[in-house]
Amino acid sequence: MNLNTIAVHAGDREKAPCQTPVTTPIYGATSYAADSMEQLDRIFGREEAGYCYARYDNPTNAALEAQVNALENGHGALACASGMLALQIAVTAALADRRKSIVAADALYGATVSLLMNVIEPSGVAVRSADVCDLDAFRAAVAEARPGCILMESISNPLLRVGRIDCIAQIAREAGAALVVDNTFATPLLVRPLELGAAMSVHSLTKYLAGHGDVLGGVIVSDAAHYDGMRALARTVGPALGPFESYLAMRGVKTFPLRMERQCANARKVAAFLAGHNKVEQVYFPDDPAHPDAPAVRKLFPEGLYGAMVSFEIGGAAKPQVFRFMDALRTVVKATSLGDVHTMMLYPAMSSHRDLSPKHRERMGIRESLVRLSVGIEGAEDIIADLDQALARV
């Protein structure tokens, strides 16, 4: 079935006790009564489908989970209160019955690095990083570390590196590890990690899936082997997304493929403009034939769909010059997020990777001249005109 059709119909119009609403209602109840204690006992024991307590599940959340699960072609999904919480739950579930060791990509979102270094590693889990784009080196790192979990991003934040998820999944299988992929930047429109062998695919719902800057949430889509453990963990720690947020996210997901197609098309035009601008030193965009991971990009992504993120370095710029450029922007929104219908820009050294030391950022290639652009659905010519006039101020 076409992804646009799945996004519009999946999860909605489940059987109801009366006439079926065309969209899933917001179920605000925290508890649910059963027809008998015997039935409630079976629901608590998960011997019968049903609802008993909102920390375990909720009909609105279940509809959203069914929707996103269908998009990712998974076994089941779990909606969480934020993308970072979803990532923590996924990694914890992956390590439940495995060696407490993680090999993570060396190019990751700053908060993910902080999660690994400041939360997961102090809890007794060994963490090391390796380059997922160098398969031989990564295979060697996995053989040495013998991890229970491998963690990567489908498109890395913010330098947009693309690793061969299918090859990394094979390395994970050979090592007995579970591969967790943060698929926020690529979305199911570009790649579905579970189809390539990943155990879990994680999204910040806040970004492209919900897409309107009004929902904070995350979601994990799991394979069959990890689903029950993930749900059992969630029943205890309670990461549940609120039903109102689930409703808003589900409404946003219905138009996600349309929005993402437009954003990808706009991003190609913006990247081409920036590549020819005399004030721009380097552009990072997966469609670039000179991209270091061009073979992986062509292997994994559909033709013409390379994501809607464009990062670039302003020639000779340090923090003051970058701030002058960003302050001059008129329609591009200066804010810390991505995936919204409007174009947004942030300064990674100040925001997404702020908690990392300058030396750590430098090792990751995140220099003071780098900015990250999330391209929206506006007219591409208007986005380009705004960038052009702002670059003239540098």
What does pLDDT average to over the chain?
A: 94
pLDDT digits (tens, 9 = 90+) for 309-333: 999 999 999 999 999 999 999 999 9
- What is the pLDDT, as a whole number, of residue 155? 98
Active site residues: 55, 109, 182, 207
Residues 115 and 247 in one domain: yes
pLDDT digits (tens, 9 = 90+) for 144-195: 999 999 999 999 999 999 999 999 999 999 999 999 999 999 999 999 999 9
Residues 206 and 313 in one domain: no
Domain count, the chain: 2
- What is the pLDDT, as a whole number, of residue 17? 56
* Cβ atoms of residues 352 and 346 within 8 Å: yes
Residues 63 and 9 in one domain: yes
Residues 313 and 329 in one domain: yes
Residues 94 and 243 in one domain: yes
Q: CA angle at residue 248 from 189 to 208, to 5 degrees?
A: 30
Check whether 97 has a pLDDT greater than 80: yes
Predicted TM-score (pTM) above 0.85 = yes
State which of 198, 232, 253 marks the end of a domain: 253
State which of 187, 222, 253 marks the end of a domain: 253
State which of 224, 253, 282 marks the end of a domain: 253
Residues 66 and 175 in one domain: yes
Residue 16 or residue 129, greater confidence: 129
Residues 247 and 325 in one domain: no
Nearest to 371 by CA among 324, 331, 330: 324
Give the CATH number for residue 374: 3.90.1150.10
- What is the pLDDT, as a whole number, of residue 355? 65
Residues 188 and 293 in one domain: no
Q: What span, in angstroms and rounded, lies between the C-alpha atoms of 57 and 215?
A: 19
- What is the pLDDT, as a whole number, of residue 352? 64
Host domain of residue 195: 3-253
Longest CA–CA span in the chain (Å) reads 73
Give the CATH number for residue 199: 3.40.640.10
pLDDT digits (tens, 9 = 90+) for 378-393: 999 999 999 999 999 9
pLDDT digits (tens, 9 = 90+) for 226-251: 999 999 999 999 999 999 999 999 99
Residues 275 and 191 in one domain: no
Residues 26 and 136 in one domain: yes
* Cβ atoms of residues 27 and 60 within 8 Å: yes
Residues 188 and 287 in one domain: no
- What is the pLDDT, as a whole number, of residue 364? 72
- What is the pLDDT, as a whole number, of residue 5? 87
pLDDT digits (tens, 9 = 90+) for 62-73: 999 999 999 999
Mean pLDDT score, 266-284:
98
Residue 367 or residue 347, greater confidence: 347
SS3 for 254-316, per residue? CCHHHHHHHHHHHHHHHHHHHHCCCCEEEEECCCCCCCCCHHHHHHHCCCCCCCCEEEEEECC
Q: What is the DSSP letter of 53?
A: B
CA distances from 221 to 26, 77, 313 (A): 22, 4, 34
Residues 360 and 306 in one domain: yes
